[in-house]
C-alpha cells in the first residue's frame, strides 16, 4: 500500500552516534545514549551497543525499532546455528547474515522508514585469531576496516578525532592501552555532541555516560558506569 501524498510525514525516532576501534586489548565499541525524532529528544538512555553472542557486538545507528528487531533476529539465528550444528557460525557467515537483514529491509528504506546503518565487531577464533570490525551501508554492503569505524549523524566529527589520534597521536589506535582507548572514545563522542544536536555525548548535568563494551579473546565486557564516569572526570572533563 502506498501512502497518500497528503498524509503527514512519519516522525521516526533515530539513534546516533556509534564508534568502534581496535586497540591493544581487542575492540572497543561505544555509543552515546540519545535518541531523537526531528528536533526532539525522545530518550536519553538508549542502548545502541548490543551483544549478539559471546564474542560479537552489533552497534546501531538509525531507527531503533528496526535495528533492535534485526539484532534479535541475528542473535536467534546464531543461537539456532550453534545448537543445530554444534559449532559457532563462521565470521563470514555472521557478517553475511546481518547483510541479508539489511537487504531485506531496503524496501522500507526506499519508502523513507526504518533505515539502519550498523557496526559489527567480533573475534575470529577459526581464522587468524584476531578481532574483526565491519561497517555497513543501508543496502547491506559490508566493509571490513583495519582500525576504526563510526556511523550516525555525529560520525564525521568522531572519524576526525580517530583519524587524528591514529596518525598524529602519541600511539596508533592498535597500540593504545585500555585506559587510553576509553578516554579517546569519550573525547570523540563529546566532540561530536558539540556540533551535532542528535548526539548526546556525555550529559554532565544528568550524569549520563556512553555505553562502552570491549571484545577480547575472553568475551565481552561492559564497562561499569562508575568506571566510565571516573575516567571522564580525570582525563576529559
Enumerate the active-site residues: 16
Q: Please provide the size of the chain in residues.
A: 237
Please identify which residue in the block is written with the cell numbers 533515530.
Answer: 14
- Label residue 62 left, alpha or beta by phi (over 0 means left) and psi (-120 to 50 means alpha): left
State how far the alpha carbon of 165 is from the alpha carbons of 49, 132, 172, 188, 224, in Å: 23, 20, 7, 10, 25
**17 in Cβ contact with 161 (< 8 Å):** no
**47 in Cβ contact with 212 (< 8 Å):** no
Strand order in the sheet with 131-136: 49-53, 56-59, 119-123, 131-136, 142-144
Amino acid at each position: 500500500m502506498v501512502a497518500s501524498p497528503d498524509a503527514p510525514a512519519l516522525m521516526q525516532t533515530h539513534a546516533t552516534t556509534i564508534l568502534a576501534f581496535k586497540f591493544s586489548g581487542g575492540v572497543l565499541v561505544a555509543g552515546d545514549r540519545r535518541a531523537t525524532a526531528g528536533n526532539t529528544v525522545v530518550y536519553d538512555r538508549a542502548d545502541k551497543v548490543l551483544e549478539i553472542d559471546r564474542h560479537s557486538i552489533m552497534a546501531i545507528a538509525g531507527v531503533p525499532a528496526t535495528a533492535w528487531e534485526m539484532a534479535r533476529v541475528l542473535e536467534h539465528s546464531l543461537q539456532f546455528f550453534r545448537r543445530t550444528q554444534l559449532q559457532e557460525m563462521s565470521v563470514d557467515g555472521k557478517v553475511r547474515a546481518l547483510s541479508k537483514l539489511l537487504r531485506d529491509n531496503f524496501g522500507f528504506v526506499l519508502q523513507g522508514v526504518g533505515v539502519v546503518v550498523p557496526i559489527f565487531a567480533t573475534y575470529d577464533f577459526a581464522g587468524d585469531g584476531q578481532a574483526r570490525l565491519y561497517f555497513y551501508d543501508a543496502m547491506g554492503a559490508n566493509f571490513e576496516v583495519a582500525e576504526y569505524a563510526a556511523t550516525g549523524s555525529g560520525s564525521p566529527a568522531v572519524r576526525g578525532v580517530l583519524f587524528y589520534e591514529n596518525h598524529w597521536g602519541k600511539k596508533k589506535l592498535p597500540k593504545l592501552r585500555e585506559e587510553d582507548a576509553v578516554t579517546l572514545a569519550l573525547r570523540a563522542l563529546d566532540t561530536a555532541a558539540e556540533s551535532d544536536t542528535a548526539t548526546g555525548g556525555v550529559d554532565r548535568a544528568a550524569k549520563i555516560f556512553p555505553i562502552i563494551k570491549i571484545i577480547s579473546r575472553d568475551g565481552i565486557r561492559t564497562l561499569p558506569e562508575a568506571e566510565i564516569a571516573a575516567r571522564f572526570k580525570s582525563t576529559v572533563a
